[in-house]
Structure 1
C-alpha cells in the first residue's frame, strides 16, 4: 500500500515518474525478491509488529521503532521496483525529525500499516504469479497474447484455483485480489517517449495499492506479448518480449559476471534451446539447405559443400 502511484500505460511501455519501462520490467524486479530476501523483510517486520506498543511509547522506544522501520525500508529499496516507485517513508522521513511524539505518532502508525500492506502484496503476488508462470505459461505450445490470456483464464477459473491463488483461508490472511483498487483511470494523449515526436492515447492510472500496479504492469505486458519466465539455470525471473521459448536468461551470470547466464548454462550442460524455437538454428538450417541445393545442381563440389557445412556448424556453436 502506497500513498500514491501514478503511471501511464503506452502500448508496450509503462511510464512511472517520467521514466519509461517495458511492460513487465518492474514486475520482474518484484518477482526477483527471492525467498531469503523476503524472509528477512517479513520476519523483521513480524518482530517489529510484535514489539509495537499499544500505547504512546517513551522517546527512547520510539527512536528504536523508527530505526527499525528505516532498516526494513532499506531492505525494500535494494530492488529496482522500489527505487522507481519510492517507498512510503521516502517523502516524509524528514517530517519525523522536527515533530514530537504527540505530533507524529498517528502518522507513524499509519506508515507502519502501509509497510504491512506492501509485504502482504509482495508475497500474495509473487507466490501466485510464480505458480502461474511455472505451471501454465511454461507449458504453452505457443507464446502469443491470445495464448497468455487463455492460460490466465484457465488459471483463475480452475477448480483448484484455491490451491494456486493466495487466499486468506489457506495463506494466513494473505490475498491475491480479484479486484483492482484504482483511484482513477483516464485516457490521455502522451508522447511515446520524450522527444520522440510520436504520440499514443495512453491509459493513466492512479492507485495506492502495490498489487494493483503489479497486476496492471504484468497483465498488460502479457497482452503486449511480454512474458516473465524463470531461468532454468540461475532460477531468476527474466522478461521475454518475443515468442521464442527460451530456457536461460541473458542476465550476468552469478558465477562469472563476464558471461551471461545463458553462456554459462550452455557450457555446463551442453543443452541448447529447443531447435523449433531457436532463431539461430533456423538460420543455420536454411543456410545448409541452400548450399545442399547448390551441390545437387553441380554448382559446387561435395567437398566444398562439406567445408561450408562445417564452417556454418562451427559459427552456430
Structure 2
C-alpha cells in the first residue's frame, strides 16, 4: 500500500479511490447479523452488536481494512523501520510506535524516539489539527492587539478554539470533516457572539 502517500489528505475521500484501484473490485462476501449482548459479564442490560461471518480469510482481511479506513485508521509506512502501521489521528504520523531496527546505547528504542534522537522528530506543523489551531490563535491575538476585538471576546474565542482542537485530537471523524470549517473566522466568531449575548 505504498501508494497511500499519493493522497492529498489522509481521509476516506482521498484514500478510498487509491484503495479501490489497488485492490480492484474483487468481491469479499460477508454475512452480517445483529444480536443483543450484555455490556459486561455481570450486566443486566443488553446492547446491540454486529456479528460478521466471513467466507474466507481474504474477506476477513479486506473487511478489516475498509472498516478501518472508514473509521479513520489509515495505513502509513514508517520512515524508520519501513513497516506499515495504522494512523489513528488526523496527524500525518511518519513513525510507528514499534521498535526501530537500531539500538541506542545497546538498548531497544521505538521508531518515534529514535527519529527524535536523530533530529527527525514529527513537528506540530505536520499535524493539521495543531497547525489550524495555532493559525487561528495567532490571528486572534493580533486582532486583540489591534483592538478590533475586545479582551473578553478574544479570551472566549481562544477557549472555544482550544475546545475544538482537543475534540479534533480525540475524534478523527470530526478532525477530517468539520474541524477546519468550525475553526474558520466566520464560524468561530459567530459562536462567540452567541456565547457573549
Q: TM-score range by the shorter chain?
A: 0.5 to 0.7
Instruction: Select between 238-247 and 252-261 the one with higher mean Cα deviation.
Output: 252-261
Structure 1 residues 227 and 205: alpha-carbon distance in aligned structure 2, compared to 1, 3 A threshold: same
Distance 1:196 1:260, change over 3 A: farther
Kindly indicate whether the alpha-carbon contact (under 8 Å) linking 2:68 and 2:74 is maintained by their aligned counterparts in 1: yes
Structure 1 residues not aligned, in runs of 5+: 1-132, 158-176, 298-317
Written as runs of structure 1 = structure 2, the 5 A alignment for 1:100-179 is 133-135=1-3, 137-157=4-24, 178-179=26-27
| Deviates most, 185-194 or 261-270 | 185-194
Q: What's the offset of the Cα at 1:201?
A: 3.9
CA distance in 2, matches of 1:253, 1:197: 46
Q: Aligned ranges for residues 16-95 of structure 1 at < 5 Å?
A: none
C-alpha deviation, 1:195, in angstroms: 7.0
Tell me the number of residue pairs that the alignment of Structure 1 and Structure 2 aligns: 144
Matched, 1:226 2:76: no
The change in CA–CA distance for 1:232 and 1:196 in structure 2 (over 3 A counts) is farther
Q: Distance in 2 between matches of 1:142 and 1:234?
A: 23
- 1:178–1:274 Cα change, 3 Å: farther
The equivalent residue for 1:264 is: 114
> Given the alignment of the two structures, is residue 236 of structure 1 paired with residue 104 of structure 2, yes or no?
no
Q: Which deviations, in whole Å up to 9, do the C-alpha atoms of 1:65-90 show, x marking residues without a partner?
A: xxxxxxxxxxxxxxxxxxxxxxxxxx
CA shift, 1:286, in A, is: 5.7
Structure-to-structure mapping, 1:166-315, within 5 angstroms: 178-182=26-30, 184-190=31-37, 201-207=48-54, 209-256=56-103, 259-270=109-120, 272-273=122-123, 275-280=125-130
Aligned partner of 2:170 in structure 1 is none
Aligned partners of 2:43, 2:141: CA distance in 1, in Å? 44
State how far apart, in whole Å, the 2-side matches of 1:212 and 1:278 are: 34
Cα distance in 2, alignment partners of residues 185 and 205 from structure 1 = 5
In terms of fraction of residues, the more strand-rich structure is 2
Tell me the TM-score normalized by structure 1. 0.36
For each residue in 1:15-43, what CA deviation from the matched residue of structure 2 results, as whole angstroms up to 9, or x when unmatched?
A: xxxxxxxxxxxxxxxxxxxxxxxxxxxxx
| 1: CA distance, partners of 2:143 / 2:43 | 46
Provide, for residues 83-116 of structure 1, a one-character-per-residue CA deviation record: whole Å limited to 9, x for no partner.
xxxxxxxxxxxxxxxxxxxxxxxxxxxxxxxxxx
CA apart distance, 1:210 = 1.9
CA RMSD of aligned residues (A): 3.7
Q: TM-score, normalised by structure 2?
A: 0.54
Unmatched segments (≥5 aa) in structure 2 = 148-197
